[in-house]
Every structure is written in C-alpha cells, then in structure tokens.
Amino acid sequence: MAFIRNILNSRSKQDGNFFMQLHQILGYKPKNIDVFKKAFTHRSMNIKDSKGNAINYERLEFLGDAMLSAVIASHLFQEVPSGDEGYLTKMRSKVVSREHLNELGRELNLIDLVESKIPAGQFGDNIHGNLFEALVGAIFLDRGYKYCEKFIYKRVITPHVDIENLEGKVISYKSLLIEWCQKEKKIFNYNVYEDTGNDDVRHFSVKLSIDDKIIAKARATSKKKAEEKASKRAFFAFQSKMSKMI
C-alpha cells in the first residue's frame, strides 16, 4: 500500500487532520489510513496505481453496499421472525434506499473529506450516500466484519431502524403509484415539460393523469423530482386505497 500513500500524500488536507476527523466519525483509530483516503478520492482526481488501476471510492462503494445489505438483512431476520422473504426484502430496501443513505452521508458531513477537482457545489445529491457506502467498505477492509457491523449498528440501525416506522415508510411514491395503477389496471401518464419561467435555475413541471384525469401537478429542478412530488400528492389523494401496498 506504500505506492498509494505516496500518490495520495498530495492531498491538501494533512494526514493528521484527516486521521482525527476519521477518528471522530468511526469511534476508533483506523489502522490503514490509505484505504480511507481512497474512500474519499473522487474519480475526477484521475489517480492510478503502479498497475494502472484507478484509485477512487467507487469499488469501495460497491463493497460497502454489500456489507450494509448483509448487516441490515441479518438484523431484520432476527428482529422479525414472522416476516417472509418479500417483507424482509422490502424492509431492507427502505433502510438502504438511496434517499436514506444520502441522509446518513450528510449527517456525517462526509463531503468535507472528499478530494476532488470538481467544486462541492456541483456534486449531485447521491454523492453523500456513495461516500457513506465507500466508508463502510473501507471499515471492512481496515478492521473486518465485526467493526463494520458495530459501525452500522451505531450509525444506521440504532438511530434509524424502527420496525413499526419502517413499515409505514414510502421509498418512492412514483414506484408505489405505478405499482398500484398496474394492479388496479389504471392508465397513468406523467406529462413533463420544461417550465423555467423567471427562475435562474432550470425547472420542470409535471401533470400526472390517471385514467385521463389530472390528479396532481408539481414543479421541481429536475424531471425526477417533479414526478416524485406529483406522485406524493397523488398518493395522498388515494391514500386509503394505496396505503395497503406500503
């Protein structure tokens, strides 16, 4: 790992400061600082090792995703003995949803540790969750499964995993609405169009129709956000019918 250390020592943050920030987040002193540096290196740095392999957080993100899924699955399996495969899968998806992982990354201010050639303000929301997954992957490589499990319990399960609340949590209102429409054989349509108006930032509006009747309208800075917002409004219009699918 010495070659990674030599390459990554060009960071603007000194090792000592980076180490202390990690210590506060992890709750223990990391053994291999290099793997954590890699967890916070963005691909825009275009760093490679001596074999030409890219040095950034993306592979650690993959590993962290797998570790999160395994630990969460084990917890749910033990806590809900009556839950079948479908129930457990849906509950796990709620815990490791992209929205929730982004929240976890923001809580820890992980973006402050990133080394990148891209300004922080230009990153999309998902970088917060990506970094959280990469951090979990780095913990696994640094100290193994037990430390990884302990971190996930401390940062994810204990503060955020409440079975009763999770059962009523909606991951995606759009996915829920589409599933309900397909089940009920209803025709739905998202009519999305650009609606910037006098705003400096690009906006999109959407009209959501079900069986040729406009049910909800919404406006946001992306098509995806506008559709999700309209779907949420439609959900509350049909809540008594759709809530059984949560």
The set of catalytic residues is 65, 133
Element (H, E) at 26: helix 15-26
**Which 3 state secondary structure label does DSSP give 48?**
strand
Tokens 């399996």 label which residue?
A: 77
| Cβ neighbours, 10 Å, residue 166 | 17
| Residue 73 token pair | 């699955």
**Which 3 state secondary structure label does DSSP give 214?**
strand
* Strand ranges for 119-231 from DSSP E: 188-194, 204-210, 213-220
Annotated binding site for Mg(2+): 61, 130, 133
Contact 75, 157 (CB under 8 A): yes
